[in-house]
Amino acid sequence: MLSAIANRPWDSARLTQALLTGLFLIGLIFIAGALCAILPWIAGTGIGVAVCLAPIALLAYVAIIWYFPWLGLYLYFTAAVVIPVWKVAYVLAMMTLGIYALRNFLLGKKPIHFGAIPHIPYLLMMAMASISLAFALLYFHNFRGYIYSDWNPYLYWAWLPVLGGLLAYEKDGAERLGHTMLAVALTLAMIAAVRAELGMHVLPIAQTGGAQEAPGLSQSEFVRVQMPAFVFVLWATTAMALRVAQRRVGYLIALPIIGVLLMGLYFNFGRALWIWTIVAIAASLRFVDRERAVKLVALAGLAAALGIGGLIVAKPRALEAVAYRFASIEQEGGGRTSYGLRQWENEIAVHQILRSPFIGVGIGGEYRRWSPTLVNFSDHVRYIHNSYLYLSLKIGLPGLAMMLWLLIGSWLRGRKLQGNKRDGWNNPYQLTCLSVLPAVLCLCVTQPELMEAPSILFFVCLLNLLCSGSAPSATVSKAEPA
């Protein structure tokens, strides 16, 4: 037997593979042994098991993306929102992008595809962001940590053509993408509810540096759960309302889903988010016949009255917290209020933009001096809530113009595509985008949604869904003649 093994032919590739496998196993054993020697045996064992299972988890993740691309997209979007370490989220994003692009290529499809999305402003925006990055590194010499943080969101715009490639070649791609966005929104809403009930403060100190934010009258009873990409929930609430209005889903299915989404919006306690959600839902009713819209508004009013009455009896403090949150608008305007502090940062930002309108302060640049008033929020020297001022500061006014061209141009093309299709008005997911994008653009006046990586994933989905040229087969009206 030994002579047979000795005489067995071994090519160089097989020998190299055997040597690498052996070294890999030896390395795992060494790492596990070192961890057990340094750490308590429970921690060392847990880390060693995690290291051993990591390749298996990676292979499973790749297999899910390859064979179930929309499930993989849901898993990625959820992970991108809930992972708190942006470096880990960035590595996951680049790896997942590569897998999807490679999948499209190996299946004989285009790795990237813009479709009806205006690609010229997209390319110019990315070019201007790259120029701003070069200025930040070579001319402004901005702090490297701030550069990494500010540049990270622009890399997520690479999802725009990659997701377009997936959407263009998948059967009923627009409907599948809409389902994926709805699943992400439900997950976010449920996570927000769990965090609120467990009393987990996502941001225990307000970003403006003021006192700890508690929207209710008692900090021990109510927690404001601030999570990124809650625009997914805004979109999903509008989509479900429109699907109900168009009789695409029954009340028994829709009401529990809408209830979960509203619960997530409640625990977010974002006044602007509440207001623009209502505006988006109201705007979506123009895609429904007038009689049906009036009935739905009356039904929604009755449901709201019953809900308020139930809260008064069962949990009056919850209703009191909402009322207090809206009533606190009258108290805004002082120097230490949310509005006053944002007005202050806006004035400084405008002054800085006028000084450097074409390049701003560069990626990661600081636009104001450190203030002891905002000592609890150290990033205030570079951070601003207004998305449009944020973009103008980082990539200049031309970069902002390209971004607006991309967003508004996509909306106009989506409106034209839907208007040219006889069955287009029966596609609730794509019509939702027509109603939601203007509302979200208004939300960006007070929220940095255009500069947060998870929210950029939302815009990527919205623009692709808005400009999708193929209507889902499930939404074709059967009442109209062919």
For the stretch 418-445, pLDDT in tens is: 765 544 455 789 889 999 999 999 999 9
In this prediction, residues 398-404 reach a mean pLDDT of 96
Name the average pLDDT for the chain: 77
**Residue 69 · residue 170 · CB < 8 Å:** yes
Beta carbons of 433 and 116 less than 8 angstroms apart: no
The reply to whether 21 falls in a domain is no
Angle 272-274-279 (CA atoms, 0-180°, nearest 5)? 90
Q: How far apart are CA 478 and CA 482, in angstroms?
A: 9
DSSP H helical ranges for 269-327: 271-284, 290-314, 316-327
Q: Is residue 158 part of a domain?
A: yes
Residue that has been written with the tokens 């992970």 in this structure: 79
Higher-confidence residue of 23 and 269: namely 269
Retrieve residue 366's tokens.
């600081």
User: Residue 466: pLDDT above 70?
Assistant: yes
- What does the alpha-carbon distance between residue 300 and residue 427 come to, in Å, rounded to a whole number? 22
Question: Is there a domain that residue 173 lies in?
Answer: yes
Asked if the structure places residue 480 within a domain, the reply is: no
Residue 120: pLDDT band (50, 70, 90) is: very high
Q: What is the pLDDT of residue 479?
A: 34
Backbone phi, then psi, for 10, in 5-degree steps? -125, 120
Tell me whether residue 53 is in a domain: no
Q: What is the mean pLDDT of residues 2-28?
A: 51
Lowest mean pLDDT among 11-25, 90-104, 154-168, 340-354: 11-25
CA atoms of 341 and 238, how far apart (whole Å): 31
For residues 374 and 208, the answer to whether their CB atoms sit within 8 Å is yes
pLDDT score, position 417: 81
- Residue 217 pLDDT more than 50? no
The tally of domains found in the chain comes to 1
SS3 category, 280: helix
Angle between helices 290-314 and 231-245 (to 10 degrees): 120
**Higher-scoring residue by pLDDT: 172, 465:** 465
Q: What 8-state DSSP symbol labels residue 243?
A: H
pLDDT of residue 138: 93
- Enclosing domain of residue 143: 71-472
Residue 327 falls within a domain, yes or no? yes
Cα distance between residue 298 and residue 442, in whole Å: 27
Q: pLDDT-derived band of residue 224, with 50, 70 and 90 as boundaries?
A: low
Between 395 and 418, whose confidence is greater?
395
Say how far apart CA 129 and CA 153 lie, in whole Å: 11
**Contacts with 241 (C-beta within 8 Å, 6 or more apart), sequence order:** 258, 281, 284, 296
**CA 277, CA 438: separation in Å to the nearest integer?**
11
Least confident segment among 38-47, 96-105, 125-134, 289-298: 38-47
Do the domain assignments include residue 349?
yes
Residue 398 has pLDDT above 80, yes or no: yes
Q: List, as own/partner pairs, every contact residues 199-205 make where C-beta atoms lie below 8 angstroms and the sequence separation is at least 24, other chains included.
A: 199/223, 200/225, 202/226, 202/227, 205/376, 205/377
Residue 27, domain member (yes or no) = no
Residue 387, both tokens: 């998305």
